[in-house]
Amino acid sequence: MLSSLKAVNELREELLAHQRDFYKTAAAEAAKDPVKGIVFSSGTDRTKTQLFAEMLLRQQVQIQPLAATQTINGKTFDKDNSYVVNFNQPQYKLIQSMFYKQLKFKDSLFYDISSWTLPLAFGMEHEELKVLPPTGLPIATVPTPKGKVVGVGDYAFAIEPYGYYTPRALYRLLKLGIRVKVANEVFHAAGKRFERGSYVIPGEQEKSPQLIQTVIQQIINEDAVDVYALTSGLDYQGVSLGSSSFVTLRKPEIAMIVEGGVSPTDAGEIWHLLDTRLHMPVTLLSVNTLNTVPIHRYNTIILPEGNYNALADGTKEKLRTWVQNGGVLIGFERAVSWLHGAGLARFEMKKEDEKKEAPKAKPYAAIDEDRGAQETSGAIFEAEADLTHPLLYGYTSARIPLFKSNNLFMEKAKNPYANPLVFGNNPLITGYIAKANLDRLKNTACIGVSAQGRGRVIGFTENQAFRAFWLGTNRLLTNAIFLGPTISAEAGR
């Protein structure tokens, strides 16, 4: 027993020595790095900053709060919602892997995705620091943000669209039958400017003021959302609260198709976002069930990435009628192609360019490698957003990082109002994509919206909830659910 204990202690000392050597090497590399740290913030969204900071702390990465608000490379980082990662710490190598962007690769085959740049996944503003700004001491825990009630009026209540849990707050209100409206124009109230996508809860409605106050307290405590109490609906600078620029929202009744040819991981990621994070119940319907049961009880149906060839022709007609009567049908990745092929939407995909020359002969053994080199296993691209479109409400930057793991490229709509999010001429931020596929990706659409009667069909060529850590694009899905019915038919394909 003594010999065993001695062996364990010797192994422990050996591991500690390796750890000290690793940290010593990391410190030497950090000292040579011209970049001394990273500052990050989610700007108007305190919850995402908290979630990102907590993720870093779980990995034993030291973070420090900004001591004062800073403007770096034209971006303002508020001291109350920003943190600094100093590179001079034991986890320097891990920090590099979290924040690193890579465009050149020795190989074109990947076991998994080719880029993991985490601040892009979370939708964080971040900047490299050649000189570290004044900071506080390293923190062990991140304060959980809380909302607050601003003002004392009861004419109406307003919520800005920025917080990560704003969709959860909306669902809390709607499930209790409390009327909520979305603003499609900028308005002013209580001395403040409210952007498009802000939400208004009228004070005068069927539900009691006591119920409304109870839910508001829950929202500020659990969803970290500020609620503004308004004394008047008049706006002498823009639209007033009684105008047609405010559209009443409906409570989402959501079903999602699973099993059959549907990707279980993609379906699980969407379910986790809606059910677990946002507390929005989702009914899971198998492909066979969709073929046989009525669907009128739902107003939103989600088709995750997958193969939908098992849906019967009668089901296509059932979905067409359901959409025309006001349903919102949301498809992801290959479901977008299926929706187009089924005649339920106009989502034309970009075709491969015809090759003018005959391909050169290649060895049989190169088949797998050549095919693998054409796969886009997972890279990050920048998309250009129309922030006035309902699907982009809540975003503050017109440039949004998107994760893409497929070679689906949607043609832009001919309708100039129907391209809410598109890839530009230089979209690649980090990761691997074959040159031919990158050329095809340029100037294509990320989202398509098709108007069918009173309903809408919305197609996403990318997974907006990838692996439950890609938080930056979650709002695109929740906007489709809550605001899809409000999109003007004139902005459809």
3-state secondary structure of 261: strand
**What is the set of domains in the chain, with CATH numbers?**
14-129 (no CATH), 149-248 (3.30.70), 254-352+364-491 (3.40.50.880)
Q: What are the pLDDT digits (tens) for 41-58?
A: 999 999 999 999 999 999
Q: What are the pLDDT digits (tens) for 208-231?
A: 999 999 999 999 999 999 999 999
pLDDT of 236 reads: 79
**What is the residue-averaged pLDDT of the chain?**
94
Using a 10 angstrom Cβ sphere, with 0-12 exposed, 13-18 middle and 19 or more buried, the burial of residue 404 is buried
d(CA 18, CA 390): 54
Least Cα distance to 431 among 72, 37, 104, 123 occurs for 104
pLDDT band at 143 (very low <50, low <70, confident <90, very high): very high
pTM of the model: 0.93
Query: Is pLDDT at 1 greater than 80 in this prediction?
Result: no
Q: What are the pLDDT digits (tens) for 25-40?
A: 677 788 889 999 999 9
Residue 215, both tokens:
């839910």
pLDDT of 161 reads: 97
132-135: long-range contacts, CB 8 A cutoff, minimum separation 24: 132/36, 132/37, 132/84, 132/86, 133/39, 133/66, 133/67, 133/68, 133/70, 133/72, 133/84, 134/66, 134/67, 134/68, 135/64, 135/65, 135/66, 135/67, 135/84, 135/86
pLDDT of 164 reads: 98
pLDDT band at 376 (very low <50, low <70, confident <90, very high): very high
State the helix-helix crossing angle for 2-32 and 92-99, rounded to 10 degrees.
60
pLDDT band at 19 (very low <50, low <70, confident <90, very high): low
Query: What percent of the chain shows pLDDT beyond 70?
Result: 95
Query: Is pLDDT at 414 greater than 70 in this prediction?
Result: yes
pLDDT of 7 reads: 64
pLDDT of 190 reads: 86
pLDDT of 20 reads: 66
pLDDT of 12 reads: 72
Query: Is pLDDT at 205 greater than 90 in this prediction?
Result: yes
In total, the chain counts a number of residues equal to 493
Query: What percent of the chain shows pLDDT beyond 90?
Result: 85
List % helix, strand, coil for the chain (3-state, nearest 5): 35, 25, 45
CA dihedral 186, 188, 191, 193 (to 10 degrees): -10
Query: Is pLDDT at 198 greater than 80 in this prediction?
Result: yes
Question: DSSP state, 274?
Answer: I
Q: Quickly list DSSP for 353-414.
A: PPPSSPPPP--GGGHHHHHHHT---SEEEEEEE-TTSGGGTT---SEEEEEE-S---BPPPS
3-state secondary structure of 151: coil
pLDDT of 320 reads: 97
Q: What are the pLDDT digits (tens) for 472-485?
A: 999 999 999 999 99
pLDDT of 17 reads: 64
Q: Do 462 and 486 meet the contact criterion of CB atoms below 8 Å apart?
A: no
pLDDT of 225 reads: 96
d(CA 44, CA 224): 12
Q: What are the pLDDT digits (tens) for 378-397?
A: 999 999 999 999 999 999 99
